Each structure stands twice: as structure tokens, then as C-alpha cells.
Amino acid sequence: MNSRARYSLSLLLACTLLASPFTSRAEDTGDDATTFTLGEIVVSGKKPEAEAVGTVHEVTAADIQASGARDLNEAISLLPGVNIRVGAEGVPRIDIRGFRTRHVVLLLDGVPFSSAFDQQFDPTLIPVENIARIKVTAGPNSVLYGPGGLGGVINIITKKGSKEFKGMVGTETGDHEPYRTKGSVGGSVGNFDFFLSGSAADVDGFPLSGDYKPTTLQGKGYRNNSDSQRNNLFASFGFSPTRDISLGLTVSYLNGDYGKPASIIADPYDPFASTPKYDRVNNFNGYAVQLAADYQVTSQFSLRSWLYFNRLDQKESQYDNALLNSYNLVAGSFLSNNQSDVIGISLQPKYDFGKGGVVTLGLFTEKDSWKNNGFTTTAPNSYTLDNESRNYTLYSASAQYEVSLLPSLGLVLGYGQHWQERGERSDNGWSLMAGVHYDILKDTRLKASFQRNIRFPSIRQLYEKPSDNPLLQPEVAYLYEIGVEQKLPGKSLVSLTGFNTTANNFIQKDEATNKNLNYAECRFQGIELAGQTKIFPRLLLRGSYTYLDSKDKSTPGHDEYQYSPKHRVTLEGKYDFDFGLTPYVSFLYAGDQYSYTKSSYTPVLKAQMSNYTVVNMKLNQKILKDKMNFYIGLDNLFDANYETSYGFPQAGRFIYGGIEFRI
């Protein structure tokens, strides 16, 4: 099966940015739309007990605009506990508290949209122009989210049309002449609202640092095979026939192509270097449809539901040379055409007992399927035809109870039962979540939470040859968290959180048998210190420090997780001048991360990678009563030469600028 379908469903993520239909609560996004939360899984009742007992970070559309973030990974890269790395897969991976992307649940308006093939996602394919708010839950999370979120949950909530008719068009360009264009329009008439948007991006490749040292595979200048081209269309419609009923329909479409930069090291005697692979996604087309409804049956009882269908068709190639013009010389090269389908339905009844608390049920079923046809090179000018299909069905039932025992004391309890049905066997498992918060003083909150959660094996782990193992069982994790939050003068807030997580039955490839097995164990523990202040009304400052101590028991000779920084510091700030100028600056430091020798090399060696610091800045200038916005930005201001994975250099200094018009 090779790696050809690795991103088959994840590519569809960008075209499944489904805007959530009506709800009674709207929030100003600072853009051309408002936020509605029907598409969001509601994990709390009147008071946010389920979120108050854990760690939830939020990024708004205004934050995204100020920072200049272009996709999901850039939008959340400064959050505590979040680490972005790029390696042999060629795309950014989002790790939370040490857990890899496959252990993070991605929700788009409440609907799970990680890859059906490997349960991962490519965040660069998720454009930000449709995003109203991103909520990232690190560690213990609500059972209503279902199984899989051992590291956490990323919940993307998209935009809706506001009461006033509004629109926006914009364009951006920069070094090496990339372009990005976008536009949107939204509004409402009576009980009907709409939001339409589209975007197009064409990037020739990202620049390398001036301090980068060339190799035989990669010279100076621009990264080979790092170009991309993407087009997105999006539409959302909402209708509320009565005060108690809200309906919504969203449709979206995505197409394009992109390259996956290979390792820059071809030295077979380098024990740390990955074998270079020359991959491209030559074409992808995807679409998504979601229907959503909310019915307030009585003043105490409500019912929310979703029905969704997504499809992605993709053509992917792995060439046998850096010129990307041949398949027929090296075993393992391939050409594949694959298709991913996801169809599901969810139901969320909720009953409010008043002072007795709130009970919410979560029920869903989803079928994930994948099929592929093409060929794989087995020897020079010799091929094997590929024609295969795989699928499984997930079922989940959960219940959550929240109650405010006292004005200063809140409690949440949740239990979930989950099933995975596949051809050769059926698996099941359970999740449990409990949390409490107590305000010992008016401005001081203590909180603690615990969760037992599971993750079912992916299609890739079950069936991808030669490491396939259809008898794999679910992974199990135990997550503990305790923290304190303190409000300070000047609209300031500081928090300190300690966490400890142990995961058992981890799925890892066994080097002796070359099969995926349930034998690994890992442990992550650490602290997160975060704070923000608006001591001056126009000034916003945020900062965080994350300490992560990891223990990797999955691979002999490894004593901690590869590419997981032990120390991570972030700072960001902006100031809104009264004449419309907003300067923004961010700082990211990552230190003490390690690389291990590849699996074929013995004995196992460990090398410390270089620490790195990246500084970004952006200037926004609004004129004509905010109807026009000019901006210019510098990513990696000091042109740092750094890697997040061995042999994969990241972008150097990049200069860009753009303009937006609003009506």
C-alpha cells in the first residue's frame, strides 16, 4: 500500500470548513461575519464547567488577522503545549503535550475530520479566511468529543453571515512572487442568512535561510519541490423557521496540487538521515456537504444533530529521482489514484435540571472508507497493479453531567462507550472523564481533571503492508492535570498547569518482526505557564513557557520522544494606534530536542538538535474608516536556519504584503 494515501482524507479538511448554522448566541469576529455555534459540539451547560476544569486555549479571527497566519498550523503555533514539526512526510504535524497528530482529534464545526487512512491531517490545507474561532483543548477533554483525543482536541468553528450585508476582497504577494487572493460576502434577510467565500493560492516554493549550507540534493535559494497551488469555494446557508428551530446547510469544494520536499541528505553512512523520497500530489479534488439542526423542544430540553458526507479524489506519485520524471527504476516508486469517503450522523440531546445540573448525551456513527488503484514498481521496468479497498465503522455513545454545587464550585463527570467494526473483528473500549474547579478567592481558581481515553487503530496501521496487523487493539491513555488561574489588575490573567499522562498498548512497529504491535508505553509530564495582559487598553501581550519531559518505551535505546522540545517559550504582542496602525510581533524559542538513528542502524545513538528562535512581525494600517487595510510582514525576521526534523530545513526570511477592501 505504501504511503500513497497518507493524506487522502486529510486533504479534504480544507474543503470541509463547514460553517455552523443558527444559534441564539453570536460573537463578533472582527471580520465580515459573526460566529454561530450550532456546528460546535456543546461541552458545557449554562456555565462552562467542562471547559473550566481543563485547559482550553482560544484563537479568534481577530488574532489570526493580526498575526498574518495563513493556515491552521500558523494560527495555533504559539499556544502552550503545541509543537509544530515538519519531517519526512513533508507537511506540518501538530503535536500536543508530546502526543503526535494521530492522537489529536480535529473537529470542523463539531464534525470529526482527521484522515480515515492514518487519522492525521495536513493543517496547511485548512485556510483561515473561513475561521471565526479555534478552540484547542490540551489534555483531558469532554467525552462528548468521542474517542481518539489522547493529546487533545482542535475544534474549528467557522463564520456565518451577520445581520448587516458585508463583503471583503483581498490579495497578497511576496518573495518569489507567490500570490493569494480571497473574497467573501455575507448577510441575512429575515430568518435566512448566508456566507460565501473563495480563495486561491499559488506558491512557487519557500526560501531557505542565507545560512543554509547546500548539499548534493538541495542548493541555496528555494526549497526543491515545495510549490503548491490550491483553490477553495465555500457556502453556508441558515434558516430559522421558528424561534425554537434552526437549520443549516454548508457545501465546500477544494482542488489543487503540491509537492513534498525530500530530505536534503543522501549520505547512506549518515546514521540519522532518512532516505530521500520524491513525492507529489499531482491533483486533488474534494467536496463536502453538511446538514445541521437545532430544536429547543422545551425550556429545559434541546436536541442538536448533524448529517455529513465528504469525498476526496487524489492522484499521488512517488518518483525515483529528484527530477520527478520517472517511476520505473527504483522499487517502491508508485502512481496511485485513491478516493476517501466519510459519511456520518450525530445526535446530541441535552436536559437542564436547573440547580440539579445539566445532562448531555452524545451519539454518533460514522463510516470511513478508502480505495486505491494504480501501480507500484517492484524492480526496474517491473510493476505490480494495485486495486484495493478498506473501511470500518465507528459507533459512540456518551453521557456527561455538569453541576455547580456552589457559586464557586463546579463539577463535571462523563462516561463514553465506543466501538470499531471492521471485517475481521470488532473492538470496543470506554472513556471516563472527571473534573472539578474551585474559586478559593474571587480571582483565584483551582482546577483538577482526570481522563481515561482510547484510540482505535487506523486503516494504515491495520492494513498497510508490510507492517499490517488486522488484530491490533485500541490504545489506552490515562491523563491527569492540576492547575491554578489568577486574575490580576489591568485585565491580566496568569495560569500554571501541571500534567502527567501515561499511554499503554501503544501501537508501534516492531523492528524484529516489521509488524505493528500493541506493545509500546510512553509517558509525558510537564508544566505550562501562560499569561496575558491588557494593562493598557490598546496593548495586548501574551506569553507562555512549556516544559515537557517525555519517556519513550516504544523503541529500544530511546529514552525520550524524538523531536519533542523539552523547553518552549512563546511571546506575542500588538498595539492598536488610534490612527489605524497595528504593529504585531511574535517570538518562538524551542530547545533541547533530540534525534535518534534510523531503525537499520545499531547501536542506537542520540544527537541533540540545534535550539532555534523564530521572530515574526506584521504591520497593519487601516484607512477610510476601516474600509481598507494595507499590511506588510516578515516571517523569520532574523533569517534563522533551523530544523524541526533531521535533514528537513525550514523556511528562512520571507517578506510579504497585501491589501484588503471591505464593504
What residue segments make up the domains of the chain, in order of their start? 10-662
Cell numbers linked to 234: 465555500
| Confidence (pLDDT) at 374 | 92
**For the chain, what is the mean pLDDT?**
88
The shares of helix, strand and coil residues in the chain, as percent rounded to the nearest 5, are: 5, 60, 35
More confident residue, 199 or 44: 199
Lowest mean pLDDT of 21-25, 77-81, 393-397, 485-489, name the range. 21-25
Cα 14 from Cα 607, distance rounded (Å): 36
Arithmetic mean of pLDDT, 589-597? 94
Confidence of residue 44 (pLDDT cuts 50, 70, 90): low
pLDDT tens digits along 126-185:
778 888 899 999 999 999 999 999 999 999 888 888 888 999 999 999 987 788 999 999
| Confidence (pLDDT) at 356 | 93
| Confidence (pLDDT) at 214 | 95
- Whether 31 has a pLDDT exceeding 80, the answer reads no
| Confidence (pLDDT) at 27 | 36
Cell numbers linked to 180: 493569494
pLDDT tens digits along 356-378:
999 999 999 999 999 989 999 99
In percent, the amount of the chain with pLDDT more than 70 equals 92
In percent, the amount of the chain with pLDDT more than 90 equals 65
C-beta of residue 384 within 8 angstroms of C-beta of residue 376? yes
| Confidence (pLDDT) at 43 | 60
| Confidence (pLDDT) at 6 | 36
C-beta of residue 459 within 8 angstroms of C-beta of residue 438? no
- Whether 220 has a pLDDT exceeding 80, the answer reads yes
3-class SS of residue 67: helix
C-beta of residue 266 within 8 angstroms of C-beta of residue 274? no
- Whether 78 has a pLDDT exceeding 70, the answer reads yes
Arithmetic mean of pLDDT, 187-215? 93
| Confidence (pLDDT) at 475 | 95
- What pTM was estimated for this model as a whole? 0.90
- Whether 49 has a pLDDT exceeding 80, the answer reads no
Confidence of residue 42 (pLDDT cuts 50, 70, 90): low
- Whether 102 has a pLDDT exceeding 60, the answer reads yes
Cα 327 from Cα 317, distance rounded (Å): 8
Q: Name the helix (H) or strand (E) containing 65.
A: helix 61-67
| Confidence (pLDDT) at 286 | 85
CATH number of 10-662: 2.40.170.20
C-beta of residue 86 within 8 angstroms of C-beta of residue 95? no
Arithmetic mean of pLDDT, 528-548? 95
| Confidence (pLDDT) at 90 | 76
- Whether 510 has a pLDDT exceeding 80, the answer reads no
